[in-house]
Chain A
Amino acid sequence: MPSWQDFQPFIVSGLALGGVYALSGVGLVVLYRATGVLNLAFGALGAMGALITWSLIKAGVPGWLSWLACVVFAAAVTLGYGIVFGPALARRDPLVKAVATIGLTLILYGLADLLWTTSGGQARSITFPTDNSGFMVGQVQVNWTQVIALAAGVVITVATGAFLRYTKLGTAMRAMANDRDITATLGVPVRKVEAAAWLGCGVLAGLAGLLLADLVALDATTLTFLVISSLAAVLIARLRSITVTFIAAIVIGLLHDLLTPVNSLTNYRDMTPFVIAAVALLVLSRHQVMSQSREEA
């Protein structure tokens, strides 16, 4: 069993990984709270946005403008999707709405791989100026980008939580996610509120995509399907609490990395998000067993 000294650097990297999961997880829950849609295309939006940023930077466009392009792209596509398909699916099950976003995911993923092909020995990467400066914690160096990612997660959690609860627009969004028709009869401009929610989600997806492209890898497959691991945190919060999502994401990231030095489990550590989510869901739902009704003989 590794010593405390051995675990120490993994706490730092685990928090950073938790920050990565938190960015996607919080973004997913925020949109679900606002529109009732679990946007599985969150990763794909960010991936394609990040690839656009990469191309722009290569073409010589100044850094901050290229980053802005990522956010604008993600916001525009999400808004477009929300306007075209939101109303059509509004009355359907959350499951159907989530499956529809799978459609968007596949379209974006296919396009990203088509336009930015894999070529032989090349690899793409995005770096931020904050990547190479940081501070030492114990034996490892923490760079500012990781701090920014973690801080962004916290800020988004707190800000959107407050927004949804205390502002008029936020309350309207929550009401709409609950029951669209009744909210409409109350005089809330549902289309505008919905559009605002989608736009917000798009902006979050773009921001997350940029940060993840730097922290993880700039690769369409990795970024698109990273959302599957983030779903674990979302499930633990039962798609309801943004704060619980954030905390769950941090815990999952920590546990994942803390398993690294344990030689018997290290090859299985990628299972951490899935196992935790499955166990948590089953534990949390144990009191909700539907009462059985036996068929009469």
Chain B
Amino acid sequence: MKRLMPAPSARRTIVLAAAIALAAVGCSSSSSTSTPAATSTTSATPATSATPGTAAVSTSQCGTKPGVAATGTPIALGGIVTNQPGTSFTDIANMANAYFACVNANGGINGHPIKYYIETEQTNPAQIAADAKQLVQTDHVLGIIGNTSIIECSVDSSYWQKLGYYIIDSGIAPECYSTSNSAAVNMGPRYSSDGAVQYALAQHASKIVFDQSNVPGTGYIAAGPAALAKAANVPIVQLTENVPISDADSVAIKEVDDAGPNGAVVLNFTPPEALVILQAAQKLGLEDRVKLWGCSTPCNTDFLATSLGPKWNSKLFVNAELTPPDVTNTAAMNLYKAILKQYGSAVSGGIGSFSQMGFTEAEIAVHALETITASSYTVANVNAAFKAVSAFNTGMLCQLWTYGAYPTHIPNNMDYTVTPDNGKMVTAQGCTQISSVDPQIAQYRSVAGTAQIAP
């Protein structure tokens, strides 16, 4: 290979200068937060977020001493969320942070502010394990809340068990629901898919096609719908798709073909992928070719409803793990919206299930911390308090939420079903229990019982 003569120094200077400039800017910038202009529209414009008859809610209700800033020694909490191209759960952690900011401005926890450390990861097990150690060893966090990650529960669950941390998270991986040290505020992909399949079966679909993204845990997730279909004597076809999907047309055609005119297609994908499949079905003219379409919770955003358009009204039924914000006028929901407005500038998705989850987890954590009477906060008493949360009314869920000393945790096992209606998601069915036909649900209910419905 002939060596090239050194290029003119001008070129080298330009490239080096560019590199240095980028490095300098990079070092000085903070973590990536989206600029308002670059992100897509939030799911709620001012008109839709204000529910009729909402009284102006003061955010000071979040704390015990309104208006008094907390100045004691901080209570350190931590959270690990996925943030990579195509999948970002930072909204959940940022909303929890917003709640903590509100609490800190209104008395803190007995005068102590909460300091929340957020670690982001890109679905890399080594990085996730390292993040956990960073939180525990360097940041000295006393409790872990807000974890939302495709694999974090799998990677870290034995570490948390060893150290005695009882986590409050928004689970995705199987271990978030099947271990003693993790209790989720959401249902996760398996039980949320159960909910969607359950609704389709209730509408007398003669066949179920369950299609999900090929990320870790597909077998675990598929087992739920399989059990439900089997109990109802309905055939079920299990499909997986590699994401990101580059050929949505063939996916849509296959799903419709397999389901048949009286069948139901139930999807378990992140919103962008689900949108691509549903839009492809519409472009191909296939949306009416099956009895109904179903989707697990990620589809539950007004943004999806707007993008899909009116053809999907009462055609797509989405499982909603949390109380629909647009039609609820409770104190907790109004507090959520107020905190989001005042402290939630870093929550790019606005009103929606992600920020709702973050709010709920922070709410539970604060409630637990306020019960601690000891003079100093330690890992032991903070996690004992988390574990002791029992029959708590979050205002965001169908049921009262309990952590409990159980070997598995599925505290949120009752859901709504929503459907798009001219650009917004509206309730199609109120709180319905996830069926005990799913063996994991049956196992949990045998130790924890059935939780009370929230008033």
A residues adjacent to B (C-beta < 8 A)? 6, 9-10, 13-14, 16-17, 20, 55, 58-59, 84, 88-89, 91-93, 113-125, 131-132, 134, 136, 140-141, 143, 216-217, 219-222, 226, 229, 256-257, 260-261, 266-267, 269-270
Judge if B107 is at the interface, Cβ distance under 8 Å. Answer: no
A-B contact pairs, 30 of them (CB 8 A): A9-B253, A10-B250, A13-B250, A58-B40, A84-B14, A88-B4, A88-B7, A88-B11, A117-B34, A117-B348, A119-B349, A120-B348, A120-B355, A121-B303, A122-B40, A122-B41, A122-B301, A122-B348, A123-B272, A123-B276, A123-B307, A125-B279, A125-B307, A132-B283, A217-B245, A217-B246, A219-B85, A219-B244, A226-B246, A260-B254
Contact A260 B34 (CB under 8 A): no
Contacts of B39 in A (CB 8 A): 116-117, 119, 122
Contacts of B7 in A (CB 8 A): 88
Q: A88-B11, A216-B246, A221-B86 are in contact. Are A119 and B275 (CB under 8 A)?
A: no
Distance, CA A270 to CA B348, complexed state (A): 33
Contact A55 B37 (CB under 8 A): yes
Distance, CA A12 to CA B217, complexed state (A): 33
Contact B354 A17 (CB under 8 A): no
Contact A121 B354 (CB under 8 A): yes
Contact B246 A260 (CB under 8 A): no
Contacts of B87 in A (CB 8 A): 118
Query: Which of B32, B240, B284: most chain A Cβ within 10 A?
Result: B284
How far in angstroms is the closest Cβ of chain B from A87? 9
Distance, CA A209 to CA B11, complexed state (A): 29
Q: Mark B342-360, 1 if CB is under 8 A from A, else 0.
A: 0000001100111100000
Contact A260 B348 (CB under 8 A): no
Contact A92 B257 (CB under 8 A): no
Judge if B286 is at the interface, Cβ distance under 8 Å. Answer: yes
Q: A120-B352, A121-B301, A123-B307 are in contact. Are A10 and B11 (CB under 8 A)?
A: no
How far in angstroms is the closest Cβ of chain B from A176? 18
Which B30-53 residues have a C-beta within 8 angstroms of A?
32-35, 37-41, 43
Where chain A touches its partner, the secondary structure class is: helix
Q: Count A/B pairs, Cβ under 8 Å.
A: 152
Q: Which residue of B lies closest to A88 (CB)?
A: B7
Contact B348 A119 (CB under 8 A): yes
Which B235-292 residues have a C-beta within 8 angstroms of A?
239-240, 242, 244-251, 253-254, 257, 271-272, 275-276, 279, 283-286
Contact B285 A115 (CB under 8 A): no
Contacts of A55 in B (CB 8 A): 37-38
Contact A118 B86 (CB under 8 A): yes
Contact A13 B285 (CB under 8 A): no
Q: Looking at the complex, which one of B1, B249, B283, B284 makes contact with A93 (CB distance below 8 Å)?
A: B1
Beyond the given A13-B250, A14-B250, please list 4 additional residue pairs across the A-B interface where CB-CB is below 8 A.
Answer: A117-B33, A118-B87, A121-B301, A125-B275
Contacts of A140 in B (CB 8 A): 253, 284-286
Distance, CA A257 to CA B90, complexed state (A): 36
